[in-house]
Structures are given as structure tokens and as C-alpha cells.
Amino acid sequence: MYSIIVVPIEASAGRDTGGEHALIQLSNDTGGKYFYAKSLPQLDDAFRQISDELRTQYMLAYYPSQRLSDSEFRRIQVTVNGLPASSNFKVRHRIGYYSSKSR
């Protein structure tokens, strides 16, 4: 999930940041990214970055070897081997999922 947080005033001015924190958490948990935009150029840049990422992403899928009980949280870790140190690849993924019994 990609979130764009439009920040018209500084946090020290007393704005409620609860919704902002929720968007950040959702973005992190789903493997997405969040952006702050304080101006139209920053908003344009955020949309450009999101567009670039959506055009250059890969989707991976797997099936676990064991089905665990309902609602057991399973963590996910994704790594890429063999990349040169100079590469600018970034791996983002959700942190895990809740399993369900096979039907």
C-alpha cells in the first residue's frame, strides 16, 4: 500500500497524528511505502515515484509446505542473492500473513 501524507502544518502545532501513524503502519505492514508532501512539487514527486515503482515491480507467490491452524501468523522474509553491490534494487514485502486451514 502506498500512502501520501499531506502535511500542511508542523506536528509541533498540535495536529492529530493518529491517522498519519495508521497510514505509516499500513504501508510498512503491507510492503508498501509512504511519502510526505508539504507542497505541490513534493506531491508530484510522490506520484512519480509510485508510478515508477508500479511499472518495475515483480510479484512472487509460494505455497507453504505445511498448513497451520487458523489465525496463526506466519512471517515472511524475501531476499535476493547474487546482486552486485552497486545495484539499486530494493526488496519490499509484507511482513507476514495469517494462515487458514486447507478446505
Q: Is 49 helix (H, G, I), strand (E, B) or coil?
A: helix
Residue 64 near residue 99, CB atoms below 8 Å = yes
Measured distance CA(83)–CA(91) in Å, rounded: 12
The pLDDT tens digits of the residues spanning 37-96 come to 999 999 999 999 999 988 888 888 887 777 666 667 888 888 888 888 778 888 888 888
Angle at 24 between CA 53 and CA 39, to 5 degrees: 70
pLDDT confidence of residue 13: 61
Supply the pLDDT for residue 23.
92
Q: Which helix (H) or strand (E) holds 34?
A: strand 33-37
Question: Grid coordinates standing for 3?
Answer: 500512502
pLDDT at 11 over 60: no
Give the 3-state DSSP-derived string for 58-69, with helices as H, strands as E and coil as C. CCCCCCCCCCCC
